[in-house]
Amino acid sequence: MLKYRLRKRKHWFARERSLFLKMLFGLAVLRLCRNVVFRKVGTPAQVFGSHALDEVVDSGERLFVVEVMHGLGNRLRAFASAAALAESVKLRLVVVWKRDIHADAAFVDIFSASAAYHTDQDDLFDKLVRSKRGADFYDYMDEAGKGQSIKLAGEKHIYVRSAFVLVGDPPSSPTEINLKFRLIASTVSHEVKTLVQTLKHMMPPGTPIIGAHVRMLVNLTADIPGIEKTRKDSINGLDRMVEAELYRRNCHIRYFLPKIQEALKKFPSAVVFVASDSQEAIEMSARTFAPKGYKVFHTNLMLLAICRGELRRGAFCSQLALAEFLFLATADVLITSHWSSTTQILSNIHDGYHVNGCRT
């Protein structure tokens, strides 16, 4: 029995190590290729940098600017809803994407350069205000301004700061926002696409997938490294995140397990894929279902270990998180955490059966 366990553990470690090395090699090749492509013309961020943006502002063209805030999921929903509103009135969309403790990744780490006109400039709003058109400002990060209808008619530029879905006057339809989510999902970076393909290759061909996205990490300083150093009442501070603790307690993996079991009854040949901000969710899922003969998959543990510490909000870990989102969207059954921006995104791009896994 001991020899069997040792042999099984040795096989598991060899598989994890092999997947880890393949993924790192693929990412290294893609990074090298991108550096070669942009060696003469600069990085994508420089192509869409200060000079080009100044020319657009000076041209007099009316702009719809969205400064996306907080984590990756929050930024994606603000981005997609802004894209739908901008298209509805034929305005050029500009995404202001700044690295911070919530998302320490550049725009081009997450998306291809062609995904949107983008910048990380701090003074764009001031430039728009001083321009001939002037600018209207909407701040969804202020409780008083959250959900305010954005007046699309008029001559002024529009500048919105948000981590949430934007509401227009007139509003975008759910279908229009859904299409933008799907379009944005198709314009992710090469690195993200590589990670998605790696996850797909882990799955037995033709096997139904039950995907679980478990957002249960209550320790906010572990979830967002460095947040404890910011002012609690600042726009990126802990006071803005306290409400998340209760919701995440209600989304512990133990509440998901009966939902997963129920899905397995409907799809007995399915495999289970677990994506979570907590290692406990993966381990408990494996302990629960593997002894019953079900296969439980997850992202390579060595990669997850990198993203459980100080780097969890960095470029690579953001790419890995987005790859998991996109892979989950292909699952036959999707079990998600409520009060999660990721759930909102997945509900827009997932075509299968979808259920809440949390305690209600």
What's the pLDDT at 338? 86
Whole-number average pLDDT of the chain: 86
pLDDT at residue 268, as a whole number: 95
Indicate the domain borders of the chain.
48-185, 189-356
Q: What is the mean pLDDT of residues 140-162?
A: 95
Does the structure show a pLDDT above 50 at 210? Answer: yes
The reported pLDDT for the residue numbered 39 is 27
- Read off the pLDDT of each residue in 147-169 and give the average, rounded to a whole number: 96
Tokens encoding 222: 């572990």
Residue 200 phi, psi (nearest 5): -65, -35
Please write the tens of the pLDDT for every residue from 212-261.
Answer: 999 999 998 899 998 888 877 777 777 777 778 889 999 999 999 999 99
Question: Pairing relation of β-strands 271-276 and 209-214?
Answer: parallel
Q: pLDDT at position 1, please?
A: 54
Of 43 and 203, more confident: 203
Tell me what the mean pLDDT of segment 152-176 comes to: 96
pLDDT at 49 over 90: no
Residue 317 is which amino acid? C
Percent of the chain residues topping a pLDDT of 90:
66
Q: Do domains 48-185 and 189-356 have the same CATH topology?
A: yes
| 24 has pLDDT over 70 | no
For 48-185, CATH gives 3.40.50
Per-residue pLDDT of 3-20, as tens digits, reads: 545 555 555 555 555 555
User: What's the pLDDT score for residue 297?
Assistant: 96
Q: pLDDT tens for residues 263-287?
A: 999 999 999 999 999 999 999 999 9
Q: Give the model's pLDDT for residue 28.
A: 45
- Between residues 66 and 115, the one the model is more confident about: 66
- Entry pTM: 0.85
pLDDT score at 199:
94
Query: What CATH fold (topology level) applies to the domain 189-356?
Result: Rossmann fold (3.40.50)
Higher per-residue confidence, 24 vs 134: 134
Instruction: Read off the pLDDT of each residue in 161-180 and give the average, rounded to a whole number.
Output: 95
Residue 48 above 70 pLDDT? no
Q: Which two tokens stand for residue 333?
A: 């059954």
